[in-house]
């Protein structure tokens, strides 16, 4: 169980390392991830909100690290969140339209999604 707690704590740290700076300086984060400035203030507002949501995911991973079995739902939501986020950047990364930071985020999020999924399969929380 210690391994899974460490994985969740690492996921919380990984997610916060992206979310906090991007939430505080959204325009710079957008440029680092997308390779170009945001087109409008409205787009930046939406982008900032998504980083706020990422921060909440990080808090969830940190809470789940204390008792992964009890918080399996958070881990399941994390699988979906990390896959959806990473999948959204695969095309731009492969086309060279996203920055190197986006490439690192894609790889890291797919790794954590895989680890989360392995935990859920191993623990089978849906069987009680």
Structural domain span for residue 9: 2-127
Token reading at 108: 């890291």
Quote the number of domains for the chain. 1
Residue 85 to residue 89: CA distance in whole angstroms: 7
Which residues, given as ranges, of the chain have pLDDT below 70?
125-128
Residue 103 to residue 91: CA distance in whole angstroms: 10
Burial string for 60-81 (b: 16+ CB within 10 Å, else e) reads bbbebbeebeebbebbbbbbeb
Residue 47 to residue 26: CA distance in whole angstroms: 7
Check residue 127 and give its pLDDT.
64
């Amino acid at each position: 169980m210690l391994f899974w707690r460490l994985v969740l704590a690492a996921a919380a740290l990984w997610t916060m390392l992206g979310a906090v700076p991007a939430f505080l300086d959204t325009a710079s984060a957008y440029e680092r991830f997308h390779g170009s400035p945001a087109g409008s203030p409205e787009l930046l507002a939406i982008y900032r909100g998504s980083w706020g949501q990422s921060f909440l995911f990080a808090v969830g991973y940190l809470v789940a690290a204390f008792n992964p079995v009890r918080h399996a739902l958070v881990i399941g939501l994390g699988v979906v969140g990390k896959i959806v986020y990473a999948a959204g950047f695969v095309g731009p990364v492969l086309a060279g339209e996203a920055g190197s930071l986006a490439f690192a985020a894609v790889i890291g999020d797919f790794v954590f999604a895989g680890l989360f999924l392995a935990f859920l399969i191993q623990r089978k929380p849906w069987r009680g």
